Structure 1
Amino acid sequence: MNKAPTPRFWLVLAFIAIYFVWGTTYLANLFALKDIPPFIISALRYLMASLLLAVLALSKNQHFPQGKEIRDLSISGVLMLVGGSGLVVVAEQYITSGSAAVVVATEPLWFVLLDYPRWKLYFRDKKIIAGLLIGFVGIVLFARFSPVSTSQEGQSADPLLGTVIVLAGAVLWVIGTLFASRRIKPGSYSLWHTTIQLGAAGLFSAFIAWVNGEWNSFDWQAVGPQAWGGLAFLILFGSLIAYLAFAWLVTVQPPAIVSTHTYINPLIAVLIGWLVAGEQVAGLQLIALLVVLTGVVLTQFSKIRIER
């Protein structure tokens, strides 16, 4: 029997989740950082999401991964969620949420550079290359036209340090994603896969927070409503909805295609920052927006499929 094609309806919903929902998590990070240290944010976020997802997986009676698969899922979860998303939270102590999102948008180029086994697959499709390059040019323009912002409460403005931290996180996210896409077989995905990734990332984040002394200085009673609200948003929307969509997408679509969410996320991050936090938006950023969208559309029009 031929394998049934992936329903386009679910593909569209999943891409909407990683394009738009993830773009709002950068501002949620800033709210959580008001009263909660960075790695405690990651620990609470991932552990709570893992517990909630485990309940859902149990209710569906899905097959639990075994042996090497658990190990591979744990490794990929730590790389992507602690090394990737976790470092973004750390970086937002030094740069704005929009700036962090713009730097994360370099991920598609890292995918192409680091995904050596698929170089022939990527480079033979002109739409993939054109889309990635145009999208990256749009991001550069977007950053260039962005107004200079002062640091927010709880930030120590250090653009260079923040940028380096986010770049390191972007590379680790790509490495973890590629690792997962090669170890998880198409069609084998279950809710337990994401549950294990989140759980491993939560435990590792809690360990780093302990090493850094974050738990010793953390005062639960001092956490305000905005910080709790930011954390709750990260758990429900960032981890349960958007990350679940991402974890499924990388098993049915090429990683470089899935990574185009990093072109839309900074636009959403800046827009939400403007609406909610009153951050300025330059008029020339609209031009960059059109360039970015052009790159995304070209990439999505590609006809390539995963080769395993």
Structure 2
Amino acid sequence: MLSNRIGIILMTALAPTIWGTTYLVTTELLPPDRPLLAAVVRALPAGLLLVALTRKLPSGVWWWRALALGALNIGAFFALLFVAAYRLPGGVAATIGSLQPLLVIGLSAALLGERVSTRSALAGVAGVGGVSLLVLRSDARLDGLGVAAAAASAVVMATGIVLSKRWTSPAPLLATTGWQLVAGGLLLLPVALVVEGPPPTTLSTANLAGYGYLSVIGAALAYALWFRGIRALPPTNVTFLGLLSPLVATTLGWLVLDQELTVGQSLGGLVVLAALVAAQIRKTPVEKHAPAPASMPERSTSLSR
């Protein structure tokens, strides 16, 4: 049972690990200054592919639930993240986003009746500190709208995680994932057209490879693993795994792009890993032993032998 839980945690951790490669893929393979287009191409084709493969459409309340979850987990989240990324240094946006585990802890208590543990709360605070050491710079500037957008993106994603746990879909996992990706992509499409204009008329082989990676690996595969983890694990366990994204992005920047990695960043990475591991540890329930039976009469004892 324990090995099965560890396996689910490791598989779920693949999702934020994949998302941590997004910055590298975007900067090295995609057209510049088109983040919303990247978000649409990442979500919509992947969602349509999963819906086509599963041949399953929402029914009943799942029409509006799929729309709500798609907006929270994908559409609104990506749009707010876009605003934050353009108005804030990446380190500030990532640090504000690292508040998400603390938000999930509070929302899980309010909506799911989960108990708030001291260990999880301390791990959440440590996660924020670790990410700030990992990515935050001393000369970072603040922008009111950017800070609000970054905070709102953490809130909508945290809400999406908790509601995804509360609203367990009866449909297959891939179908539910596809519905949310389609809903999020459709919500993002008009925003991308208004803000960035029509897509480029020509795309290089590198551009197509980058978009293909983001759609198939970064969305279809990663979100299926993420939502599977939400179905199988408590939301607080899942949300801490998201701290892997800035850790992976920073590590790839150092390994692939020759970016500097300071002692403070290394310490921040270790703090992030410690917080992540601490959040996954479950308190072992104390076994309650039944009281010893009262002495039986001699006649009964002899019969039991």
Verify same fold: TM over 0.5: yes
Instruction: State the 1:117 CA deviation.
Output: 2.4
Partner of 1:154: none
Unaligned runs of 5+ residues in structure 2 are: 286-305
Preserved contact between residue 30 and residue 207 of structure 2 (Cα < 8 Å): yes
Partner of 2:130: 138
Give 1:1-308 correspondences, 5 Å limit: 7-8=4-5, 10-31=7-28, 34-35=31-32, 37-58=34-55, 64-95=57-88, 100-117=93-110, 121-123=114-116, 125-144=117-136, 146=137, 160=143, 161-184=145-168, 189-210=172-193, 212=194, 214-216=196-198, 218-221=199-202, 223-303=203-283
Separation in structure 1 between the aligned mates of residue 176 and residue 284 of structure 2, nearest angstrom: 25
TM-score, normalization: structure 2?
A: 0.79
Distance 1:131 1:248, change over 3 A: same
Alpha carbons of 1:213 and 1:102: their partners in 2 closer, same or farther (altered >3 Å)? closer
DSSP 3-state at the match of 2:20 = helix
Report the CA distance between 1:294 and its aligned residue.
1.4
Q: Per the alignment, do residues 19 and 43 of structure 1 end up closer, same or farther by CA in structure 2, a change over 3 Å counting?
A: closer
Deviation at 1:188, TM superposition (A): 5.2
CA 1:36–1:226 in 2, change beyond 3 Å: closer, same or farther? farther
Question: Tell me, what secondary structure is at the counterpart of 2:114?
Answer: helix
Stretch moving more, 44-53 or 28-37: 28-37
Q: Structure 1 residues 284 and 213, CA, compared in 2 at 3 Å: closer, same or farther?
A: closer
Per-residue displacement from partner, 1:142-174 (whole Å, max 9, x unpaired)?
345x5869xxxxxxxx75354443222111111
Larger Rg: 1 or 2? 2
Give SS of 1:250's match: helix
**Conservation of the 8 A alpha-carbon contact between 1:209 and 1:215:** yes
Residue identity in the other structure for 1:208: V
Q: Given that residues 21 and 242 in structure 1 are in contact (C-alpha distance below 8 angstroms), is that contact kept between their aligned partners in structure 2?
A: yes
Say if 1:106 and 1:230 are closer, same or farther in 2 by CA, change over 3 A. Answer: farther
Deviation, 1:303, is 4.1
Higher relative contact order (CA 8 A, sep 6+): 1
CA distance in 2, matches of 1:205, 1:270: 27
Instruction: Give the % identical residues.
Output: 25
3-state SS of paired residue (2:243): helix
Supply the AA of the counterpart residue of 1:274. W
Matched-pair contact (CA < 8 Å) for 2:58–2:66: no
**Residues 273-294 of structure 1, C-alpha deviations (whole Å, 9 max, x = no match):** 2233333221221112222211
- The 8 Å contact of residues 9 and 229 in structure 2, kept in 1 or not, is answered as no
When the two structures are superposed, what TM-score results if normalisation uses the length of structure 1? Answer: 0.79
Task: Say if 1:234 and 1:163 are closer, same or farther in 2 by CA, change over 3 A.
Answer: farther
Residue type at the aligned position of 1:170: A
Paired with 2:3 and 2:50, the residues of 1 have a C-alpha distance of: 23
**Which segments of 5 or more consecutive residues in structure 1 lack a partner in the other structure?**
150-157
Task: Give the count of matched residue pairs.
Answer: 284
Q: Which amino acid aligns with 1:261?
A: L
CA distance in 2, matches of 1:39, 1:278: 27
